[in-house]
Amino acid sequence: MEVVRKGTKRGHTYHLLAYDQGPRKAFEPFLITLEDEAERFPTFEHPGTEFIHMLKGVIEYRHGQQTYILHPGDTLTFQADIPHGPERLIKTPIQFLSIFIYPPGTAD
């Protein structure tokens, strides 16, 4: 299911790969595709841990004050309550899995 999130206006698509219909979510898996850097990238902050696994392209990804160059096959895991998000698209199209793992009782 394609969802609308910050950053989905132009060339950025987010597909929710599984949906928990219960009152609370334990995790949310997304397939994210970035094809156009015409708009400024949003910064995200949310409870829990985030896991990113690169499938295509090359991206510079920010977490707090650090940036990381990620290539296909690279994985990054981090605390999601620290500002994070794409810093620069190096080789498009970019596609990666992003899994949000929420602490108990925080994602409604």
Instruction: Find the farthest-apart pair of alpha carbons in the chain and give their distance in angstroms, rounded.
Output: 39
Averaged over 59-69, what is the pLDDT?
97
Averaged over 83-106, what is the pLDDT?
91
The pTM of the whole model exceeds 0.85: no
pLDDT tens string 14-33: 888 887 766 678 889 999 99
pLDDT confidence bin for 71, thresholds 50/70/90: very high
Domains in the chain, please, with CATH? Answer: 2-101 (2.60.120.10)
Whether residue 5 is predicted with pLDDT greater than 60 in this model: the reply is: no
Q: Rounded to an integer, what distance in angstroms lies between the CA atom of residue 6 and that of residue 10?
A: 11
Instruction: Please give the single-letter amino acid code of residue 102.
Output: Y
